[in-house]
Amino acid sequence: MPAAYPAHFRSTIPSLEVVILAAGEATRMRPLLLDRPKVLSPVCNVSILRRTLELLQSGGQNRATLALRAVFESCEDAIQSEAPPGFHLDISFLPARITGGVPCVRAALKNEAASILVIYGDSLLSFDLGQLISFHGDCLNRGGQITMLCHRPSDLKDPNKQGKTYHGVVSKNEDGRVTKFIEKPDVTEIGGGFDLANAAVFFCQRELIWSDRFAQARDFSFDIFEHIAKDWPGQFYAFEIGKGFRFDVGSLRRFFELNIMALNRSINVRLPGTELLPGVWVGKDARLRLETMVAPVLIGDNINIQQQARIGPNVVLGNRVQIGERTIIQNAVILDDAEIGSDAVIDSCIIGARSRVGSRVVVPPRSAVGPDAILGEADLV
């Protein structure tokens, strides 16, 4: 927690509802996610959704609503299976006519709670939710309506084609009151205290998003945050993420990078399985030869790896993956139930769930293979 904040917050929130906003179509994750919403994309074999729900549970929250597109209704059972024990996950399937973050949150709300915690579901997150809740309660006592979690991403000054950052950028005073917010400003504007980014987690009071002044709002950043910061600054507060982190899992490149970063312990996330050798994590009922593993490697449950196959470095194998003899896999993320034949080579690739790579197939580097694909002959394990 930044030193400028009080050492201990005593404030509480009378009532709270959590909405995980995942109503996008994940077009930048195709073809990998043709069969599932982005929140089910795994980082080291644990879905983004599961990690988010575990974070909520660690902060004392055991209920949330997930806002999804109606096109993913067939995934309801798979989504519900991601909820940790004791966690109640509601799912609000939204029709295509409801667009924009604000209308989607309004449509997803299940009760009359005064405070709404909105979390964007494509984020890999680590922060102290209990401290954020307490800080928001303190801000409510000072007339606050919005409390935003902020961080300092390494790409804050990386420009897009128009010379703008990819982030909403914030400045605040010592007690956390926001003094300026601009969604995607020019990178030349960033600096001099105007250097915190929206971490895609925020509290918003119910009365505010249903108020007449924001009746036509669609986008939280452009239609609410920018106006609150300019016209009602005493209602907008920001809380720094401290030792936590936030990463967008919005593209195939980012998905691959985050899996490798987590595997290499560059970011601190839970890795499933047991570390049988330094950097070699193995799940339950795995059949393999440890001497052919080149760390770092993460092996899922019920894996079958034939003799002389070499796995690693920088490999994540999902659950129930089967790999034939003498196959070489490195710098790769392979999702659940994939089958790889003998003498195949996979380097710097993502292989989708239930895909089949035949024997002697060399998958071109930097390939992303979608679910249920078949590459080469089907003489598999």
CB distance 293 to 316 below 8 Å: no
Mean pLDDT of 273-297: 96
Closest CA to 354 of 341, 368, 371: 371
The dihedrals phi and psi of 55, each to the nearest 5 degrees, come to -65, -45
Average pLDDT, the chain: 92
Mean pLDDT of 189-195: 95
Superfamily holding 273-375:
Hexapeptide repeat proteins (2.160.10.10)
- Provide the Cα torsion 75, 78, 80, 81; round to 10°: 180
Model pLDDT, residue 14: 75
- ∠ at Cα 14 (10, 16), nearest 5°? 110
Closest CA to 89 of 123, 119, 50, 118: 50
Can you name the CATH fold of 16-248?
Answer: Spore Coat Polysaccharide Biosynthesis Protein SpsA; Chain A (3.90.550)
The dihedrals phi and psi of 67, each to the nearest 5 degrees, come to -95, 115
Instruction: Give the tens place of pLDDT for each residue, 98-142.
Output: 999 999 999 999 888 999 999 999 999 999 999 999 999 999 999
Instruction: Report whether the peptide linkage leading into residue 296 is cis, meaning its omega lies within 30 degrees of zero.
Output: yes
Non-local (6+) Cβ contacts of 37 within 8 A are 22, 26, 68, 69, 72, 75, 79
Strands 42-43 and 46-47: antiparallel
The single residue listed with the structure tokens 């896999």 is 329
DSSP SS3 for 231: helix
The dihedrals phi and psi of 298, each to the nearest 5 degrees, come to -125, 120
Instruction: Give the tens place of pLDDT for each residue, 68-99.
Output: 999 899 999 999 999 999 999 999 999 989 99
CB distance 105 to 209 below 8 Å: yes
Residue 27: is its pLDDT beyond 50? Answer: yes
Mean pLDDT of 203-223: 95
Instruction: Give the tens place of pLDDT for each residue, 43-66.
Output: 999 999 999 999 999 999 999 999
Instruction: Report whether the peptide linkage leading into residue 31 is cis, meaning its omega lies within 30 degrees of zero.
Output: yes
Burial class from Cβ neighbours inside 10 Å (0-12, 13-18, 19+) for residue 256 reads: buried
Domain ranges of the chain: 16-248, 273-375
Model pLDDT, residue 1: 36
The single residue listed with the structure tokens 């979690």 is 149
Mean pLDDT of 292-311: 96
CB distance 274 to 282 below 8 Å: yes
pLDDT band at 379 (very low <50, low <70, confident <90, very high): low
| pTM, full prediction | 0.92
Query: Percent of the chain at pLDDT above 90?
Result: 86
Task: Look at the alpha carbons of 247, 249, 254, 257 in this order and tell me if their dihedral is positive or negative.
Answer: positive
